[in-house]
Chain A
Amino acid sequence: MKFGQPSTLPRWAQLSVLPVLNLLAALLVTGFVTWMIGEDPWECLQLLVSGAFGSGEGIGYTLFYTTGFIFTGLAVATAFHAGLFNIGGEGQAYLAGLGVTLVVLAFDHTLPPLVLVPLCILAAMGFGAAWAFIPGWLQAKRGSHIVVTTIMFNFIAYSLMLYLIGHHLIEAGSQNPTTREFGHNAWIPALHQLAAGVGIQLPNTPLNLTFIMALLACVLFYLLVWHSRWGFQLRTVGVNESAARYAGINVSKTIMLAMCISGALSGFAAINELLGSTHRMNVSFTNGVGFVGIAVALMGRNHPVGIILSALLFGGLTQGGLELSFEKPVITREMIIFIQGLIILFCGALENLFEPFIAGLFKRKEDK
């Protein structure tokens, strides 16, 4: 068996057959574990799917989770195209949440929504980008490895937020580490409210306008990466840094800008969560959205269409997993984290594991 060789498969098969096989492998292992803890894997899968997509409410929640995952997936993908592995999405989303919170707490009773919400978005993008810029700068100018620095920055972000929320932002008189509730001016309208405005009944879910922004971001991402001069530079740096330098591309500028865009995209996950759903800041609001983004980007092979599909898969897993854990007390939401890990393993680290087998099949067909 020869691994690590250039793929001989047609592109369509690389982009469709392999991810599906990888996903099946991950599900197979999950099924085995499910069977090991004494549950029926098939029944659990059915409960999971019907929990995620079986009702209007389920779909609403699925799409709400999908929104955050699209943004963090795009964030990881942006860095990936420049050859950078940004593990810091979690910390960047966290800091973006701080930006949002500061703006909201200062202005939510004075500014109208049409001014306040864009201001919040700018703050989220700015704070997220700034938190990603530092590792980017360190990588570009000082040669420190982005993976290690972003890991460290996740921990620094976490400690910083624990301190800020615990000592400064906490609601007066409250025991829980959360801020006060945001004023209604800072709430991003949920889709069911908007639909009710034009007379359509949708189930009551936190799915909000940020979802539309996520789809727009995918289009912009596509145009930027594949149809702009800067996107070409970005991908050149990602494929071969020294060739890019030789071609006169400013590599360090490209790296820093890629990280800033990456951080800004992570910031939107905070918008979705804070302004779209919880309407207050608490210690654990990011809840792993940045890490899921890594799996989403890997599975979606860093392409916006793939990212939407895999974000939908992870959104469904999150929502379906919650429903499943209500039905089957022995299966907790950590099962979903386990599946995420398997997907990262099979779709990321072992992405072409089944390539030799499939290539063999293709070859046999040609020989006939």
Chain B
Amino acid sequence: MEQWLSLLDSTIRVATPLVLAALAGMFSERSGVVDIGLEGKMLVAAFASGAAAFVTHSPWLGLLAGVMAAVSMAMVHAFVSVTYNGNQLISGMAINTIASGITPVLGLAWFQQGGNTPQLDDDSRFHDIALPFADALGNVPVIGQLYSKLLSGHSILVYLTILIIPLVSWVVYRSRFGLRLRAVGENPHAADTAGVSVARVRYIALFWGGVLCGMAGTFLSVYQTGSFIKEMTAGKGFLALAALIFGKWRPLPAVLGCLLFAFADALQIRLEGVDLPLIGQIPSQAIQVIPYVLTVLLLAGFVGRAVAPKAIGVPFVKSR
């Protein structure tokens, strides 16, 4: 029980930034704009929030800076994809490359610590929060344990994420904006004829995507490690993209994909060097590679079929 709880606990920790990034990607891709720049936006956000939290001694100002940094990158992407009708894939590539270049350069120039930001002190970091009665319920079997060991004791960002998941799901499927979002991603010409501004919807979608990426990046630097480390996103943006495809561009299945990948990751750390009966040791690389292989198989239609929003990647040029 103890072991399972701690395994699930670290699953939640690993999954949080993935979930945020995957939901960010969903906003963008549901509006018809390919977003392979999730990784870059997370990375800039991680740097900006780490730097701002260090300077201002406030995790919240760090979060604000992280969100602003990711949103500004998202707006570059929006300019290329919506206003300029440029190639969205290349723009995403550019954002990733710019992010992995600029963060260590600024980091070294401002903090002289090899491109990282200094370790944050306790006041400038997000902390684990004990939910009410967590201690008291700790000894109640199963439910109490689940509550106190699994649900309690996470950072505020985790709880925000837990609230964001149903909210996003509601926005996409039940709100006016969600209807427009999906219409623009499936058939922008029809949406345009119905009087919806395709450009406006896509800008808004990318904006919220930027906000979510900003939170994801902030989680990494201002909560998890307590400083920005070069290339600290390490493929998490692409993992989130994989989860998004895995969830077939739907919010809840995408979240499940993130949890699955995070579980595999948490499990892999515990299996390091352990001899399993019959199989022997599993190399950690074999587990790391699972999400990517699954995504390829899914895209190829070998396990179900992943159907992307129809208008994805195609610039919308208003017909005259």
Contact = CB atoms under 8 A, between A and B. Distances in A.
Contacts of B61: none
Contacts of A47: none
A39 to B, nearest CB: 8
A121 B29 CA distance: 41
B293 interface: yes
B109 to A, nearest CB: 3
B102 to A, nearest CB: 5
25 contacts: A36-B106, A37-B105, A37-B109, A37-B110, A138-B296, A138-B299, A144-B306, A151-B241, A152-B242, A153-B292, A155-B289, A155-B292, A167-B283, A332-B104, A332-B105, A334-B101, A334-B103, A334-B105, A337-B97, A340-B101, A341-B97, A341-B100, A344-B90, A344-B97, A349-B91
Interface of A: 3-4, 33, 36-38, 85, 87, 138, 142-145, 147-149, 151-153, 155-156, 159-160, 162-163, 166-167, 291, 294-295, 298, 330-332, 334-342, 344-345, 348-351, 353
A85 B90 contact: yes
Contact of B286 (A145, A163, A337): A163
Q: Is the contact region of chain B dominated by helix, strand, or loop, or is it mixed? A: helix
Given A4-B315, A350-B84, A338 B285 contact: no
Given A138-B296, A334-B104, A351-B86, A344 B94 contact: yes
Contacts, number: 154
A110 to B, nearest CB: 31
A336 B98 contact: no
Interface residues of B, number: 52
B292 to A, nearest CB: 4
Q: Is the contact region of chain A dominated by helix, strand, or loop, or is it mixed? A: helix
Given A4-B85, A332-B108, A147 B36 contact: yes
Given A332-B108, A344-B90, A138 B101 contact: no
B288 A159 contact: yes
B86 A349 contact: yes
Contacts of A163: 283, 285-286
B299 A156 contact: no
Given A3-B86, A38-B109, A332-B108, 14 more contacts: A4-B85, A4-B86, A37-B110, A87-B89, A294-B93, A330-B108, A332-B105, A336-B101, A338-B98, A338-B101, A348-B94, A349-B90, A350-B80, A350-B86
